[in-house]
Structure 1
């Protein structure tokens, strides 16, 4: 299972090489107005099915430089209270101290440390950074794929990527034990940025 995580959005800034990729160099803000971004999660329910959900409110930015991967970066801030599993009572439970404890920890953040290309074609990368969730900070790795980049119909320039990671609930102090099949949660991040 490919590792996902959280936010974050710097993978675009790290993938693809050559002149075409260099044309995309710059700093990008998440397209929060157009809602072309998603942070989703998937976790086993008792080993019999899967529960899917998402965070509806988050923001961030990333810097992309095709020739200098070391300068690439990403920052993401998530409103944990915006968790949405399509079930009001369950969402209330997810916001409680059993899970996200949103009253005490209203935000989760991801800040990259480094970006590492996978192979020579630079269309895949690993983004290593710090995820802070429920007041606990741990290093995670996002497996990221560049989706594409280029001019949009409104005169701007956009870049998009998808990334995945897997988190252990206990690593972030989540006390609720959902059984042996539900110790980890898969995170899927899809982000489109607009160059500033």
Structure 2
């Protein structure tokens, strides 16, 4: 019986190690952000962010391909620092946040590159449509924090084509560039 418990314990430990450490994205401490940039009428760019989101990820620096990520974004939290524009962007002219209140990203594969870079393949559900999306990500660092926890941080970029999600295009604004800053607390 004792050997069985030891074997089961070793199997559980090996299984956990194969999947890396699990992290919760630190949105409470404002150590993560989802930002966007959209061309405005061909003259300039509008920048903004989503203020409310949550998620988690698994990361093992020795086996990056086993990493994963899942993020949920409240689309109503869109903030471009202009109340009237935000009201219009949230309307059924664009994001229709009353009907589609949540956007989600779930990774399907992580492809390691060199120097901490990786491609995160996944499915983005936005405006009622689910399409593949690739995030070009970069590992920033990991280590102990001043509060007794352990953290890992990443940055990433992606481009969302509005037509892929049946979101109306205004002028030449056919896409949004997404910039991500993610810091997670190990669980």
TM-score range, shorter chain: 0.7 to 0.9
Partner of 1:6: none
Alignment of 1:188 with 2:179, yes or no, is yes
Give 1:71 shift: 2.2
Residues in 2 aligned to 1:33 and 1:85: alpha-carbon distance in whole angstroms: 20
Q: RCO (CA 8 Å, sep 6+): is it higher in 1 or 2?
A: 1
Specify every segment of 5 or more residues in structure 2 that has no aligned partner in the other structure, as ranges: 1-16
- Runs of 4+, deviation exceeding 2 Å: 66-71
Q: Is the 8 A contact 2:65 2:112 kept in 1?
A: no
After TM superposition, list the pairs within 5 Å mapping 1:165-176 onto structure 2. Answer: 165-175=158-168
- The question of 1:178 aligning with 2:173 is answered no
How many residue pairs end up in the alignment?
A: 169
Q: Deviations over 1:79-120 (max 9, x none)?
A: 00000001111111111111111111100000000000113x
Cα RMSD, aligned residues only? 1.2
Pair member with larger Rg: 2
Q: In structure 2, how many angstroms separate the alpha carbons of the residues matched to 1:147 and 1:70? A: 17
Deviation for aligned residue 1:147: 1.1
Matches within 5 A, 1:134-149: 134-149=127-142
**2:125 corresponding residue in structure 1:** 132
Q: Identify unmatched segments of 5+ residues in structure 1.
A: 1-21
Distance 1:118 1:31 in 2: 25
Secondary structure, aligned partner of 1:116: strand
Q: Which residue of 2 is the match for residue 28 of structure 1? A: 23
Q: Does 1:154 align with 2:150?
A: no
Q: Distance in 1 between matches of 2:41 and 2:87?
A: 20
